[in-house]
Amino acid sequence: MKNRKKKKTVIIVAAAFALLAAAGTAALRNHGRSAGAGKGTEAMTAPVTRQDISSRLSSSGVLKPRNSYQVSSLVEGEITSADFEVGDQVKKGQVLYRIDVSNMEEEMKSAQNSVERAARNLEDAQKDYSRAQGRFNDGVFRSGDSGYIKKIYIKAGETVTSGTKIADIEDDSVMRLKVPFLSAEAAAIGAGSAALATLSSTGEQIPGTVTAVSAKDETLTGGRIVRYVTIEAANPGGLTTEQSAAATVGDYSSSLEGTFSPVVETILSADLPDSVTVEQLLVLEGDYAAKGTPIFRFDRESADKLMRSFREKLDSAKDAMDSANNKIESTKNSMNNYTITAPISGTVIRKNMKAGDKITSKTSGDGAMAVIYDLSSITFSMSIDELDVSKVKAGQTVEITAEAAGDAAFQGTVENVSLESTNNNGITTYPVSVAVKDPKGLLPGMNVNGKILLEESKNALVIPAASLMRGNVVYVKDPSVKEAKGEVPAGFREVKVETGIMNDEQVEVTSGLSEGDEVYLVQGFDSAPGSEYMGEEMALEP
């Protein structure tokens, strides 16, 4: 198996270029030799030519899919279905696994019951609050029934709490008469039957209606077995609780007389959630109080505290309703976790669990049930030296080759330059993400080499890198120069140039030279004036 070495981006000096150029371009010796280059030496030259030139950064990497996902479960249980296989193409949202959800059904029923209870409690609290606003918001306690106030049990200055008896209310607009009928006759009388009451004192007859018939037999003096029949009649205006009357229903007559009583006899009690202090009574005994009639006034502080109590109960009911709804939602979400869908579209690379397998706490949460790769887009990362990373920008073209793909070449684009650096043996590098265009034939895991195109120039004036000295000086061949001048050998003159793009072999000249000029090539490291100049980057095997 071949021993592959990763390439490393390095900086190389112009003097080293001279050695590479001298070693690799023997043909340049035919471009001209000058006896004035030094005693017993021949000067190597090269012509200034027009050609395309570019500079690149090179680094290797390993291909990986842009998106990959490990499918896992958040819940435990038995897998009931897993209708996919390795190699299948799946769509985002496609069902991969179904897990037995029966243990969640009872929890959902409980959550639904909680919502129903909370809804009823909220409705009651809203009604109580609305009633309280009508009855207590202005600091007044109102009657909940209609009738005459028979007796008042409170007075100004007293404290009234929940359940405190306030007054007896009696409404005699409708009177009730309860009289006995022989048991057999009473059994034939039904509720709703017409009745006629005859007053004992005056003989006046008052029409009424049977409202109830007792089912209990009772014995009167003389051994008569009777059942009581209740009759209600509108008070014509003179009926009192002291008056008595007999009654007839159809052909049946009561065995005894009975006395009238008001249909409405109410004890008015304080239905308050908190205590209040009575400031003023607003009614007297004997007054008629319709439903909603003010009975007494209490102090403002008590009113505020009272309404605050109703508001707190309403708020509490709303909170309970929100909590119940949240429980429903969380239960629904939990139930959704029992159906596992594909998070991305892609190819199934691995399937670790199948129908019938049981997911436990050891396998749920972080265990990979399956792995999906999105192979529609493949990327790799290039490690770029800290001295060069500032030259790399998103959108730059990358030339890509892969040993596994033979001679095929691929194109890519710089997507991102990460700021998360890595330091190894004192060398800091930055990862550069590259997207591969049309990766057909490439697979995740393959090793590739990328060359980032930093800049290029078409039809440029170009000289060998070995001819550039001190960063901006070349020696141009000039037969008119008969003697050496300092470091400039005989037959050459020194020319300052402006440079453009540089790479490991060539330098673009933007001014100072013309096409066809012959330039002196440095023959060795020591003979390269200005060898301190730092040239362009190149990739070397370490």
Identify the bridge partners of residue 78 per DSSP, sorted by sequence position. Answer: 358
Evaluate if residue 2 carries a pLDDT over 90.
no
Beta strands 518-520 and 534-540: pairing type?
Answer: unpaired
Same domain, 54 and 19: yes
Same domain, 29 and 85: no
Same domain, 283 and 215: yes
Same domain, 249 and 312: no
Same domain, 198 and 289: yes
Token output for 262: 């008001």
Taking residues 169-183, what's their average pLDDT?
92
Evaluate if residue 367 carries a pLDDT over 80.
no
Phi then psi dihedrals of residue 167, to 5 deg:
-165, 160
- The confidence score (pLDDT) of residue 246 equals 97
- The confidence score (pLDDT) of residue 146 equals 84
- The confidence score (pLDDT) of residue 540 equals 26
Residue 396 belongs to some domain of the structure? no
Residue 31 belongs to some domain of the structure? yes
Taking residues 89-99, what's their average pLDDT?
95
Global pTM value: 0.47
Judged on CB neighbours under 10 Å (0-12, 13-18, 19+), 32 is middle
Rounded Cα distance, 143 and 270, in Å = 9
DSSP state of 488: B
Phi then psi dihedrals of residue 185, to 5 deg:
-70, -40
Same domain, 162 and 241: yes
Residue 383 belongs to some domain of the structure? no
Residue 416 belongs to some domain of the structure? no
Residue 406 belongs to some domain of the structure? no
Evaluate if residue 18 carries a pLDDT over 60.
no
Same domain, 145 and 291: yes
- CATH number for 358: 2.40.50.100
Same domain, 73 and 13: no
Per the rule left: phi > 0, alpha: psi between -120 and 50, beta: everything else, 331 is: alpha
CB 399 within 8 A of CB 448: no
CB 457 within 8 A of CB 52: yes
- CATH number for 25: 2.40.420.20
Taking residues 9-32, what's their average pLDDT?
34
Evaluate if residue 176 carries a pLDDT over 90.
yes
For residue 96, how far is the Cα from the chain centroid? 23
The domain total for the chain is 4
Residue 411 belongs to some domain of the structure? no
- The confidence score (pLDDT) of residue 480 equals 94
Rounded Cα distance, 55 and 350, in Å = 42
The Cα diameter of the chain in Å comes to 170
Residue 185 belongs to some domain of the structure? yes
Q: 116 lies in which domain range?
A: 106-138+300-329
Same domain, 157 and 272: yes
Same domain, 266 and 315: no
Residue 271 belongs to some domain of the structure? yes
Same domain, 150 and 132: no
Beta strands 205-213 and 218-219: pairing type?
Answer: unpaired
For 421-444, what is each residue's pLDDT tens digit? Answer: 999 999 999 999 999 998 888 889
Q: Among 504, 537, 517, 538, which Cα is nearest to 25's?
A: 504
Rounded Cα distance, 284 and 288, in Å = 9
Same domain, 347 and 262: no
